């Protein structure tokens, strides 16, 4: 199934029509499976397993049974499996996790999760504030519950969210912490936190109060807050000091006013203090939020991102961002190793929110979400939000995504 077919199936009917394409075992293995008592459903055989949650980087087999990881070991007997999926010369990772995207497909800036996430090896995506409490029930019924990709939502502190693209804070009457917290508590784990959008162009002078209200909702519900901060009205130190351990500073490497660097290119002390107390730093390129110059200066000062995400929208899937594996290649191009980059899209974001399932790992008993990639060598040009380019030497291309033990083949 090619990407266009994958998209058509997802658009036509979500999970009901997106039937898994099962990789076939060899004729010999199939014959054996008919005569041998089954102990596991699927064996991913002979790949290079990279699982930062367990410090694994080795040639190993992965066994899945009843939608869960059963075993990761060398030389698991193929006759134990109903299906055998060869993965020789490929990278096998936990299903990738995009911690910042917009997947309310058909509304505002939303895009299709099954095509642009699962279709690229991303088995879990966090929708970063597409809806507030007014529209969330529809988002859950018509998108979350009907999509093969696991979707966890951050509830926008504004009742209208991004349905009207002004961040919802131009009028603070829309931002009710008690009502937002109630909606979140009634919908856990489908809602795993809150989102607030702080930008001079969108929020105006309401950024500090908007952040206070989002933090208040987080305290009531016992959930973290993701904070969009790019060119805010108020100085960044004033905003960072309000953030708590576990809150997320997304778009952290932008090059706009009130950014993470001072006039001399040094990381501001308040950013270092925020990291020390447990604030998460997430780049989320989107349309305007990533500067290679800022990234490189931060890396030179030993300040890498904690996670890598996309800010995927209907616009960014077509330009500069494309998908999460492309973002992994982008950060590898500026010096982050393959293993660390994979950790930033698996184990690290899995620790940020409560997804209601154990993901981002291949530990036995965790969700049977796996991604299989070809690691291509060559020269690959990557762009930041200003069109500045960096050339990378490696690129991950997804070939298979496995969601709860079901196989989806992605042909490029």
Residue 131 resides in a domain: yes
Its domain, for residue 332, covers 95-350
Close Cβ partners of 303 (under 8 Å, ≥ 6 residues apart): 267, 271, 272, 275, 281
Q: 102 and 87, same structural domain?
A: no
Residues 184 and 236 in one domain: yes
Domain count, the chain: 2
Phi-psi region of 18 (alpha: psi -120 to 50; beta: other; left: phi over 0): beta
Q: What is the pLDDT of residues 232-246, one digit of tens each?
A: 999 999 999 999 999
Q: Are residues 170 and 34 in the same domain?
A: no
Q: Is 356 domain-assigned?
A: no
Last residue of one domain, picked from the residues 326, 350, 374 = 350
- In this structure, are 52 and 108 located in the same domain? no
Any idea what the CATH number is for the domain that residue 383 is in? 2.30.40.10
Residue 194 lies in a domain: yes
Local confidence band at 202 (pLDDT 50, 70, 90 cut-offs):
confident
Helix or strand holding residue 239 (H, E): helix 236-240
Together in a domain, 68 and 196: no
CATH number for the domain harbouring residue 130: 3.20.20.140
Q: Is residue 359 part of a domain?
A: no
Q: Are residues 143 and 227 in the same domain?
A: yes
> Nearest to residue 255, comparing CAs of 219, 281, 291, 280?
291
Residues 160 and 82 in one domain: no
Predicted TM-score of the model (pTM):
0.90
pLDDT tens sequence across 328-357: 999 999 999 999 999 999 999 999 999 999
Q: Which neighbouring-strand residues pair with 376?
A: 395
Are 70 and 209 part of one and the same domain? Answer: no
Between the alpha carbon of residue 226 and those of residues 169, 229, 279, 340, 363, the distances in Å are 15, 9, 10, 22, 28
Same domain, 138 and 34: no
pLDDT band at 167 (very low <50, low <70, confident <90, very high): low
The reply to whether 127 and 264 lie within a common domain is yes
What pLDDT digit, counting tens, does each position of 1-15 carry?
444 444 433 333 333
Distance CA 189, CA 264 (A): 43
Digit-coded pLDDT (tens) for 136-163? 999 999 999 999 999 999 999 999 887 7
Do 245 and 109 belong together in one domain? yes
Indicate whether 18 pLDDT > 70.
no
């Amino acid at each position: 199934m090619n990407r266009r077919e994958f998209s058509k199936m997802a658009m036509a009917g979500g999970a009901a029509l997106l039937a898994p394409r099962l990789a076939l075992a060899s004729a010999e293995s199939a014959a054996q499976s008919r005569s041998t008592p089954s102990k596991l459903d699927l064996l991913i055989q002979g790949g290079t397993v990279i699982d930062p949650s367990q410090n694994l980087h080795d040639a190993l087999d992965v066994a899945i049974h009843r939608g869960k990881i059963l075993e990761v070991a060398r030389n698991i007997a193929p006759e134990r499996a109903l299906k055998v999926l060869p993965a020789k010369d490929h990278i096998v990772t936990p299903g990738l996790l995009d911690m910042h995207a917009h997947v309310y497909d058909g509304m505002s800036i939303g895009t299709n999760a099954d095509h642009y996430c699962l279709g690229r090896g991303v088995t879990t995506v966090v929708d970063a504030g597409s809806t507030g409490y007014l529209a969330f029930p529809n988002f859950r019924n018509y998108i979350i519950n009907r999509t093969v990709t696991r979707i966890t939502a951050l509830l926008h502190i504004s009742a209208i969210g991004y349905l009207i693209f002004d961040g919802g804070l131009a009028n603070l009457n829309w931002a009710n912490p008690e009502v937002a917290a109630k909606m979140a508590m009634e919908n856990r784990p489908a809602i795993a936190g809150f989102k607030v959008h702080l930008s001079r162009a969108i929020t105006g002078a309401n950024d500090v109060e908007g952040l206070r209200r989002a933090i208040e909702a987080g305290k009531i519900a016992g959930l973290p807050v993701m904070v969009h901060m790019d060119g805010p009205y108020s100085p960044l130190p004033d905003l960072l000091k309000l953030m708590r351990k576990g809150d997320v500073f997304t778009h952290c490497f932008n090059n706009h006013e009130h950014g993470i660097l001072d006039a001399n290119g040094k990381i501001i002390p308040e950013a270092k203090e925020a990291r020390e107390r447990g604030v998460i730093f997430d780049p989320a390129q989107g349309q305007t939020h990533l500067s290679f110059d800022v990234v490189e200066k931060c890396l030179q000062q030993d300040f890498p991102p904690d996670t890598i995400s996309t800010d995927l929208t209907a616009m960014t899937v077509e330009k500069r961002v494309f998908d999460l594996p492309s973002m992994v290649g982008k950060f590898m191009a500026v010096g982050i190793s393959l293993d660390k980059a994979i950790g930033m899209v698996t184990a690290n974001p899995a620790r940020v929110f409560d997804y209601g399932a154990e993901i981002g790992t291949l530990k036995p008993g965790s969700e049977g979400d796996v991604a299989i990639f070809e690691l291509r060598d060559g020269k690959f040009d990557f762009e930041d939000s200003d069109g500045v380019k960096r050339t990378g030497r490696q690129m991950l291309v997804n070939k298979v995504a496995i969601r709860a033990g079901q196989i989806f083949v992605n042909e490029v």
